[in-house]
Amino acid sequence: MQIQFLDAAAASASRLIARLVNQDAMPADLEPVLAEAAKLSRFSGKPGQICEGFVERDGQTVRVALAGIGKTAAKDRRSALERAGAGLVAKYLISGHDELTIDLTGTGLSAEDTVSVLTGANLRSWRHDIYRTKLSEEKKPSLNTISVVSAPAEAAAIWAVEAAVCEGVAFTKELVTEPGNAIYPESFVARCQSRLEGTGVKMRVLDENEMRALGMGALLGVAQGSARAPRMLVMEWEGGNPGAAPIALVGKGVTFDSGGISIKPAGGMEDMKWDMGGAGAVAGAMLAVAGRKAKANIVGVCGLVENMPDGNAQRPGDVVTSMSGQTVEIINTDAEGRLVLCDALTFVQREYSPVKIVNLATLTGAIIVSLGREYGGMFANDDSLAASLDSAGQISGDRLWRFPLGPAYDKLIDSQIADMKNAGPRFGGSITAAQFLQRFIEDGTPWAHLDIAGMVWADKPGATWDKGATGFGVRLLDRYVRDAVES
């Protein structure tokens, strides 16, 4: 979606105009037909409300939309403004109009408020139609430009920064949406190399032989049942003090998860193309921070495998040796994400000595049972890091809810024949998965594990996304870097 800032004269020919309306504060200059339309449709300016009418201006029929932005002093003002922008795009994306003019005259919106509206609009405009060969013309997106009239002078500069974050979210949505025959470890790497080229991000790729030489038996055990070769993708952004230790972002990248020998039920297995949502979020976040030239040193690591059940696949009961030297008894081959992450976590600590680590993974169905699809689960060994991530989630809209860690849960993953099991009992499944990962954090490094299994994909449209990939995690990580690292 192209965003442009215009003066009133340049936008005078627009045939689709939106006005933003504060709750219970209808503009006094509305044409009578629009005021009557608002009254008849019970439009009061609540967040997400949209009312439209047609008026004649300068001899032309103009379509005018009123979009509610809620109360000025509301705590969720940013969210309400994003919903207004997103709602306008959702309504007019396939309307036949190619341009929407948002007229801010008399609204009193700040530059930051204006950018929130545009952020919602941009995020909601994302679609993935490349596999649709018979889409009728009236169902194809027509809206490609949003023109903003009477915006504060600083809005364009602020939008340039937020546009980079929106691009990162879009990239994550793309990776998560693509099917498993299009995105697999090697093609995930290639897609990232293509999108990050020229951004200043340095990239390094480890192949199977290099990972074997490093002793990554846990990750390679997951990959051994697939014809697709595993990869580890390392992305470095050096925007902070030269030589300063980085923040590490680590993502689970199981590009398709059949469950392996512990095969999943057939119903819904097609959804497992998005089991790389954690790696997708890390890739999108790296694109975002590079795009806005973040003043921070960040390393992103994605462990990339496909989990399949062929004759060479690992079996329940097998024992693997991780890069850390710790051994793991495989109880369930469908508890594979933690095996990928544990080697990625060891790798990033030994190669980069990060000051903090945040890993993201669509790790457990249990987290969806606990939280539904409203929050991502957070586990952390450091209260300060947890508080920073929680704050970033509240501001960005990618919300988190903290869960406990503790020695009492360790006994649930102790093994009779190895250092640990890769799966505990039915109850507390998200917690025992986090306890497993914590065993691979060295020297007390501040670490947080985000279980985002319920958040990367939506069965119905949300505030700023359509049904499908949500891009969850990118805005969260970017906001965390801004507030906790750059500030």
Q: HEC string of 12-54?
A: CCCCEEEEEECCCCCCCCCCHHHHHHHHHCCCCCCCCCEEEEE
Q: Is residue 188 part of a domain?
A: yes
How many Cα neighbours within 13 Å face the side chain of 433? 33
Q: Are residues 409 and 477 in the same domain?
A: yes
Residue 466 DSSP class: -
Q: Is residue 61 part of a domain?
A: yes
Q: Active site includes 140?
A: no
Q: What's the pLDDT at 326?
A: 98
Cβ neighbours for 378, distance < 8 A, ≥ 6 positions apart: 386, 389, 390, 400, 401, 402, 403, 448, 449, 450, 451
Q: Is residue 134 part of a domain?
A: yes
- The residue out of 92, 120, 153 marking a domain boundary is 153
Compute how many other C-beta atoms are within 10 angstroms of the C-beta atom of residue 130.
Answer: 10
Per DSSP, the residues of 378-429 read EEES-HHHHHHHHHHHHHHS--EEE----GGGGGGG--SSSSEES---STTH
Contact 55, 94 (CB under 8 A): no
How many Cα neighbours within 13 Å face the side chain of 312? 9
CATH for 54: 3.40.220.10
Q: Which residue has the tokens 């049972």?
A: 369
Q: What's the pLDDT at 127?
A: 96
The identity of residue 332, as a single letter, is: N
Q: Are residues 70 and 171 in the same domain?
A: no
Q: Which of 173, 228, 231, 338 is catalytic?
A: 338
- The residue out of 128, 153, 178 marking a domain boundary is 153
Question: For residues 45 and 358, what is the distance between their CA atoms, to the nearest angstrom?
Answer: 39
Q: Is residue 158 part of a domain?
A: no
Q: Which of 264, 295, 373, 402 is catalytic?
A: 264
Domain count, the chain: 2
Q: Are residues 107 and 84 in the same domain?
A: yes
Tokens in use for 105? 């005259």
Structural domain span for residue 206: 163-486
Cβ neighbours for 71, distance < 8 A, ≥ 6 positions apart: 22, 23, 24, 77
Q: Is residue 317 part of a domain?
A: yes
Q: Are residues 318 and 394 in the same domain?
A: yes
Q: Are residues 38 and 169 in the same domain?
A: no
Local mean pLDDT, 10-residue blocks, the chain (487 residues): 86 87 92 94 94 92 96 90 97 96 93 98 97 94 96 96 98 98 98 98 98 98 98 98 97 98 97 98 98 98 98 98 98 98 98 98 98 98 98 97 96 97 96 98 97 97 95 98 94
Q: What's the pLDDT at 11?
A: 65
167: left (phi over 0), alpha (psi -120 to 50) or beta: alpha
Question: For residues 311 and 478, what is the distance between their CA atoms, to the nearest angstrom?
Answer: 42
Q: Are residues 67 and 132 in the same domain?
A: yes
Question: For residues 433 and 450, what is the distance between their CA atoms, to the nearest angstrom?
Answer: 11
Contact 118, 146 (CB under 8 A): yes
Q: Is residue 140 part of a domain?
A: yes
Q: Are residues 132 and 260 in the same domain?
A: no
Q: What's the pLDDT at 15?
A: 93
Query: To which H or E segment does residue 293 belong?
Result: none
Q: Are residues 229 and 146 in the same domain?
A: no
48, 159, 147: which is closest to 113 by C-alpha?
159
233, 237, 227, 235: which is closest to 253 by C-alpha?
233
Q: Specify which residues 18 forms β-bridges with.
A: 65, 102
Q: Are residues 139 and 195 in the same domain?
A: no
User: Is the model's pTM score more than 0.85?
Assistant: yes
Q: Are residues 286 and 319 in the same domain?
A: yes
Q: Sheet holding 327-329: strands in order across?
A: 319-321, 327-329, 420-421
Q: Is residue 17 part of a domain?
A: yes
CATH for 336: 3.40.630.10
Q: Is residue 424 part of a domain?
A: yes
- The residue out of 131, 153, 175 marking a domain boundary is 153
Q: Sheet holding 400-402: strands in order across?
A: 202-206, 231-238, 297-307, 247-257, 356-361, 447-451, 376-380, 400-402
Q: Quickly list H helices, 41-110.
A: 77-92
Q: What's the pLDDT at 73?
A: 82
Q: Are residues 170 and 194 in the same domain?
A: yes
Q: Are residues 231 and 90 in the same domain?
A: no
349, 353, 392: which is closest to 485 by C-alpha?
392
100, 105, 12, 10: which is closest to 58 by C-alpha?
12
Q: Active site includes 315?
A: no
